């Protein structure tokens, strides 16, 4: 564990430790900010007591992080271009990390205090884009060298489309439930059931479904938002301690062989399909290893990059045998080769070639897109513990302030199943989405479908937070980065 600090002076060690603490603080806040959405419906339909709901939600969030994979985590890491992440010095990295963390934490705390269901995903992504853009401006380089524009567009589309999908699917689910189950027990509010039937809790099957779907939302929230925390912590570690975290230092010689073999097989695929991939891969460049350390990622040089990677890995049996600069270079090479392969995968190649390419891409980046166990456990613990405190403000907004009338059992079921399904699919496909916006829009969709009406002021506030979160966190984190750089330069 202490090898993390190898080659770092005291101030950088302190900075790294504080950065890790700040990331865990961000994830803790995310717990009581976002996860409150997961338990709002189950609390307001009287399906579970509040204290039991948040404790169970915290546990399911923990397990969601532990079992969620790393697809979303590295969507976050790759928001910053490879050259920027590995090219800046540790002082610049420290300033960048604290700027984006302060921005994300400040906005999350502010919206939580006001009881506004704002998106922690928008907050984090806006903060990362802000410091990346500010760095590009500072060093007089194009925006594309400070922000991975292609990845940012993919994530923005995911964040924009998911609430609309949540609204529509939840409304359709409620219509279907009303058509299938015409009995009025399922479509009562807790107040109506108490008044008419004299019973406090939902009917048994409705209660069971509400509890199960709430825990499902908690689990997929952990698998999606927890991965964002993992990605943020890995971004910190790769940026500030690249000699230890640019590559998975525990990789075996077998894993290195698989990496090397995958790269060579990708090169063979390019040669087999030269006429089709010629627009992406430059075949005029000799595919021989470069003697100098690679510093910039150029897509057209894929064959040369593969030859260089083959040369570097062919000399070692363990990543620890590589120098610090060589570890950085190998990470660049792996991700640059994969980036080109991603472009090639969109070409109309034979189906079997595309299938093989997908397999080789996974093998190629396996030792670069990873997370140590202690990172995953610490993020899971921070998110799970955060879930169990501070949840009341957001729960009150989601449960009482979105619709003009109380929430029926069927509305709660429709909203939660929709949210669990949508976020779960996003986690599997590696796309970050906002739990807050998906569930809030799902609740709104059920209110419209039920003709319950919406509280206009609350909807305006949520929409305003949705629109403003991204630009304001970009400005805040970018401004803080430039100010700190001016002070400490």
Q: Is 351 helix (H, G, I), strand (E, B) or coil?
A: helix
Runs of H (alpha helix) within 181-301: 190-197, 204-240, 242-245, 253-272, 274-277
At 278-322, the pLDDT tens digits run 888 888 766 777 766 666 666 568 888 899 999 899 889 999 898
Instruction: Give yes or no for residue 182 having a pLDDT over 80.
Output: no
- Segments making up each domain of the chain, as ranges: 10-244+371-488, 247-365
Residue 402 — pLDDT band, cuts 50, 70, 90?
low
Measure the CA angle with vertex 224, ends 221 and 230; round to 5°.
120
Task: State the pLDDT at residue 392.
Answer: 63
- Which residue matches tokens 């610090």? 324
Instruction: Give yes or no for residue 74 having a pLDDT over 90.
Output: no
- Which residue matches tokens 């080659």? 7
Task: State the pLDDT at residue 206.
Answer: 86
Measured between alpha carbons, how far is 9 from 56 in angstroms, rounded to an integer? Answer: 43
pTM higher than the cut 0.85? no
Whole-Å CA distances, 400 to 95, 201, 221, 257: 41, 18, 22, 57
Rounded to the nearest 10 degrees, what angle do helices 435-449 and 456-488 cross at?
Answer: 170
Instruction: Give yes or no for residue 52 having a pLDDT over 90.
Output: no
Query: How large is the average pLDDT for residues 159-174?
Result: 87
Query: How large is the average pLDDT for residues 417-429?
Result: 86
Task: State the pLDDT at residue 157.
Answer: 79
User: Could you tell me if 429 and 452 are in contact, meaning their C-beta atoms sit under 8 angstroms apart?
Assistant: no
Q: How far is CA 475 from the centre of its chain?
A: 21
Query: How large is the average pLDDT for residues 207-216?
Result: 90
Task: State the pLDDT at residue 476.
Answer: 93
Measured between alpha carbons, how far is 268 from 259 in angstroms, rounded to an integer? Answer: 15
Measured between alpha carbons, how far is 387 from 391 in angstroms, rounded to an integer? Answer: 7
Task: State the pLDDT at residue 196.
Answer: 77
Residue 258 — pLDDT band, cuts 50, 70, 90?
very high
């Amino acid at each position: 564990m202490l090898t993390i600090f190898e080659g770092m002076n005291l101030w950088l060690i302190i900075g790294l430790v504080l950065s890790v603490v700040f990331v865990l603080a961000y994830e803790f806040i995310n717990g009581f900010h976002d996860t409150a959405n997961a338990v709002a419906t189950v609390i307001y339909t009287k399906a579970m007591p509040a204290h039991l709901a948040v404790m169970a939600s915290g546990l399911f969030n923990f397990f969601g992080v532990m079992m969620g994979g790393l697809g979303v985590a590295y969507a976050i890491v790759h928001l910053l271009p490879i050259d920027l992440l590995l090219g800046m010095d540790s002082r610049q990295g420290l300033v960048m990390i604290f700027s984006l963390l302060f921005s994300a934490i400040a906005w999350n705390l502010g919206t939580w205090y006001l009881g506004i269901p704002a998106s922690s995903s928008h907050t984090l992504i806006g903060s990362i884009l802000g410091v990346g853009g500010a760095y590009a401006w500072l060093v007089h380089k194009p925006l594309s060298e400070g922000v991975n524009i292609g990845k940012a567009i993919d994530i923005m589309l995911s964040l924009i489309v998911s609430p609309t999908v949540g609204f529509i699917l939840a409304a359709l689910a409620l219509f279907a439930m009303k058509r299938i189950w015409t009995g009025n027990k399922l479509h009562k509010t807790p107040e109506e059931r108490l008044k008419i039937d004299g019973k406090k809790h939902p009917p048994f099957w409705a209660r069971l479904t509400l509890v199960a779907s709430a825990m499902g939302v908690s689990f997929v929230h952990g698998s999606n938002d927890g991965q964002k925390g993992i990605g943020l912590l890995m971004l910190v570690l790769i940026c500030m301690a690249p000699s230890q975290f640019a590559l998975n230092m525990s990789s075996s010689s077998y894993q290195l062989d698989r990496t090397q073999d995958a790269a060579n097989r990708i090169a063979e695929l390019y040669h087999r399909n030269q006429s089709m991939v010629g627009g992406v891969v430059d075949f005029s460049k000799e595919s021989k290893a470069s003697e100098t350390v690679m510093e910039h990622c150029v897509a057209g040089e894929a064959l040369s990059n593969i030859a260089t990677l083959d040369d570097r890995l062919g000399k070692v049996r363990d990543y620890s045998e590589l120098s610090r600069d060589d570890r950085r270079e190998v990470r660049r090479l792996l991700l640059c080769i994969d980036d080109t392969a991603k472009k090639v995968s969109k070409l109309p190649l034979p189906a079997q070639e595309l299938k093989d390419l997908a397999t080789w891409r996974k093998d190629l980046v396996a030792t670069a897109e990873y997370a140590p166990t202690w990172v995953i456990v610490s993020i899971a613990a921070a998110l799970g513990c955060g879930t169990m405190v501070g949840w009341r403000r957001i729960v009150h907004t989601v449960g009482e302030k979105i619709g003009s009338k109380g929430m029926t059992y069927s509305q709660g079921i429709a909203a939660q199943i929709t949210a669990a399904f949508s976020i779960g699919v996003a986690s599997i496909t590696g796309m970050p989405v906002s739990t807050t916006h998906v569930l809030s829009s799902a609740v709104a969709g059920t209110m419209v479908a039920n003709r319950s009406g919406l509280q206009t002021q609350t909807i305006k506030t949520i929409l305003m937070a949705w629109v403003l979160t991204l630009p304001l966190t970009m400005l805040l984190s970018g401004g803080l980065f430039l100010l700190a750089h001016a002070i400490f330069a």
